[in-house]
Every structure is written in C-alpha cells, then in structure tokens.
Structure 1
Amino acid sequence: MASPVDLLLPEQLPVSARMMDAARLGLIITAASEAVATYCGYPLHQRLDVVESVAGRGGAYLWLRGAAVRQVTRVEVRGVPRAAGTYALESSGRGRIVARGEDWPFTGTWTKGVSSTPLNPQDTGEVVVTYDSGWVTPGQRALDAALVVDLPASIQLAAVEVVVAAVSRDGKPGDAASESIGDTSMSYFAGEDGGRTALPSTARQLLAAYRRRR
C-alpha cells in the first residue's frame, strides 16, 4: 500500500527496477522518499493546517522550521490572532514570514536590570503559526483519487534515481566503498564528508534547488 510520503509509484520506475517482490519494492520506495525529504531538510508531501510555534526575534521576520510553505492561514501572538494584512509569506522555500507594520515581538531571555534588553530568542509558545506546506505526492494521489499531483518533476526524478540505486544494491553490504568478487565489481556512493550516502550524485543535483539551507 502506498504511503503519503511516497514521491513516486512503482509504475514510474524502469522495468528492470520493478522486477522484485512488491512488498519489498514498496518498502524501498518509502525509505528512498524519506531519504530524499531528509536530504532536502523538510517534509515534501502536502501537509495542511500545520501548527508550529516559533521564536520571535523582535524584528520584521519569523522563520518557520518547515519549508515549501504554500500559504499561511493564521498567526497568533500571545493568543491574539494577527490580521491577515499585517504579515505576508515572503519566502516559501525558506519559510520566512515578514511583518507589515508592527514588528514581531521578542520571545526569550532578557538581560537583568532596570533597562533589560533582549538576550537569546527562544520558542516560548507565544507566537504560533498555522500553514499549509509541501506538494501532493504520487503516494497521496494513490490514496485519494481526488488529489492532483503537483510535486516538482525534479524531485520525482531524483526519487526515481534513489530507488533505482537502492534496488541495484539491495542485499549488498553497505560498509565498503567498493568490493570485487570474481569478475563482479560493486561501488557505493561517496557523500560530501567522504562517507557513503543513499543518494546518488545525480539525485543530489536534481534536488539542489529544493534543499533548505539556513
């Protein structure tokens, strides 16, 4: 059965990658999809009415932990809703909300004394944002035929690359960079730190525009 996080379905894979047990292939697709989302730094599947408390830094911006933000539906400051016209989603990819008019309050610790000043911003639960994020995945479409897939093609293709690579090394040891057995040679992918990674370089290139960087 498909999972909402699945970035592709078996029929989107090359025939050679589909020739294995269906349950095993489904597990690989879900695991590969989770690996892609982890690499990007945020959930990729559509999530509606996400409620997140954020730290107020006392300036014009709020920074959500999520990304691929489609719309902000509500902002509450100390239990009081902010009017929709007093803020705007400035960056979907970075989850950045800008205040229009009054700045966001500072939440966190202050210096001691008569004239205390902001010290360390903290998530105190005083600023709460509700928003929609992510894209409709093929997995979500398989579970609800009323949905329309809008996941970017680059992400879908990257997921295909990851699944094909995972299928090709399924059952092989993952603790060696390369191995030769008779006339057979196996190679594994090197990560940015020199270690091995589940994502081939082609997939990482396709995902570059969607990877969240602080």
Structure 2
Amino acid sequence: MPAPQDLLTAEQLPLAARTAVEGPRLALFITAASEAVASYVGYPLHRRLGVVESVAGTGGPHLWLKGGAVRQVVRVEVRGVEVDAASYALDSALLGRLVARSSRWPFTGSWSPGVSPTPLEARDTGEVVVTYDAGWVTPGQAAMDSSLVVDLPVAIQLAAMEAATAALSRDGKPADVASESIGGTSMSYFAGEGGGRAALPSTARQMLTPYRRLR
C-alpha cells in the first residue's frame, strides 16, 4: 500500500530489487528510504496543502518557516489580523523565508523590564501565523489519487531509488560489517557515523545537495 511520503513506487525499482523481498516488506523499504531522504534534506517532500504554522517574529525583515519547498503562501496573520499579501513576498522557497516589502515583521518573545523595554529573545508566541502550501506530488500520492500528476524533481526520485535499492541489497546483513566475501565476490560498504553503513549512498546525497536545507 503506497504512502503519501513515498518518493517512488515499486515499479520504479530494478527487477532484482523488486523481487528481493515480499510485497508488504518492499513497501516498508520504500517508505523508510523515502523518509531517510526527507530527513536528509531537512523537510517533508510530499505535497501538503494548507499547512498552518506559527512563527517567531525577530523584528527584522524576514520570517523563517520550518518547512521547505514552499510552493505558495496562502495567508499571514499577525495577532489575528490578516496581513496584506502585497506587503510581503516568498524570498526563498527552499528555505521557507518570507521577506517584508515595507515595514518589518513584529518582534515576538521576551522583553526586558523597565520603562522602555527592549527585545531580548525571539520565540514563537503564536502571534504570527502563516498558512502555506509546500512540497511536490510524489509517486506515492499519485498512486493513491489518479487525478494527481507527479512533479517531484527527478533527482529526488533517483536518490530515493538509490536509497531503497541499497537498503534492499543489505537486507539481513549486520549494519556494522565494513566488507564481506561471498564465494569469489568481495563487497565493501561505506562506513558512516558511528561505524555503520550510511542510510543514503553517496550518489544519493550528491543528487540531493541542491535541495538540502541546512539548519
């Protein structure tokens, strides 16, 4: 059964990978590989409409959303009042960054005591709320709804295929094995943090670099 976050379908995998495990377990591998890719880039990749998120206001020109791959900003409310859409713009879809075109965003957080308090530490107080659409239509979502058309970038799909194929190839093998020999064949595995093999092959990480959001 496909899941919305699935960045590929079983049919997109090589035949050897598709037949390596039975159907229900194959679906788990696909979802796990897709979630590993999303974790690596730093935000959910599947299409999400009407995401409502409260944001900390720093008193500066920018607001930073937690989500990446923002497709459009639907509405911004400050203390319950909707802000004129002409007064801000989506400055970076990847970073989820909104810029104020005229005045600055309000500061939300703690203030110093006294007659003339000054901002001390910005934090999310629920005073600034942004509603937006984000992500792409994934193969998993298209498999669940035939009216949807996949627009997930090809590089992300290929990275997910690499991750799923690599995970299937090492199914049942100890995670801390650096190399092994089977008959006349010798295989080595990349050693990631902690000595184990990386969840994402290096080729997958390279393809994901343009989409990665560093925090």
Q: TM-score, normalising length from structure 1?
A: 0.95
User: Which residue matches 2:213?
Assistant: 212
Question: Does the residue aligned with 2:49 lie in a helix, a strand or coil?
Answer: strand
User: Which residue matches 1:8?
Assistant: 8
- TM-fit CA distance, 1:173: 0.8
Contact 2:57-2:123 at 8 Å conserved across structures? yes
User: Which residue matches 2:79?
Assistant: 78
- TM-fit CA distance, 1:182: 6.3
Question: Does the residue aligned with 2:156 lie in a helix, a strand or coil?
Answer: helix
Change (3 A) 1:147 1:90: same
User: Which residue matches 1:124?
Assistant: 125
User: Which residue matches 1:37?
Assistant: 38
**Separation in 2 of the partners of 1:195 and 1:175?**
4
- TM-fit CA distance, 1:103: 1.0
The more displaced of 100-109 and 203-212 is 100-109
Q: In percent, how many aligned pairs have the same letter?
A: 70
User: Which residue matches 1:98?
Assistant: 99
User: Which residue matches 1:17?
Assistant: 17
Runs of 4+ more than 6 Å apart? none
The more displaced of 183-192 and 31-40 is 183-192
CA deviations on 1:114-152 (whole Å, 9 max, x unpaired) are 221111100010000000000000000000000010000
**Separation in 2 of the partners of 1:194 and 1:186?**
16
Superposed counterparts of 1:161-172, under 5 Å: 161-172=162-173
Amino acid in the other structure paired with 1:136: V
Amino acid in the other structure paired with 1:175: D
Contact 2:75-2:82 at 8 Å conserved across structures? yes
The more displaced of 19-28 and 140-149 is 19-28
Question: Does the residue aligned with 1:89 lie in a helix, a strand or coil?
Answer: strand
Contact 1:189-1:199 at 8 Å conserved across structures? no
User: Which residue matches 1:134?
Assistant: 135
Q: TM-score, normalising length from structure 2?
A: 0.95
The alignment yields a C-alpha RMSD, in angstroms, of 1.5
Contact 2:2-2:144 at 8 Å conserved across structures? yes
**Separation in 2 of the partners of 1:41 and 1:74?**
23
The answer to whether structure 1 residue 113 and structure 2 residue 114 are counterparts is: yes
**Separation in 1 of the partners of 2:131 and 2:195?**
39
**Separation in 2 of the partners of 1:192 and 1:105?**
41
Change (3 A) 1:80 1:36: same
Question: Does the residue aligned with 1:130 lie in a helix, a strand or coil?
Answer: strand
Amino acid in the other structure paired with 2:51: V
Contact 2:160-2:204 at 8 Å conserved across structures? yes
Amino acid in the other structure paired with 1:164: T
The more displaced of 133-142 and 183-192 is 183-192
User: Which residue matches 1:158?
Assistant: 159
CA deviations on 1:149-203 (whole Å, 9 max, x unpaired) are 0000000000010011011001111123334466554433233676532100000
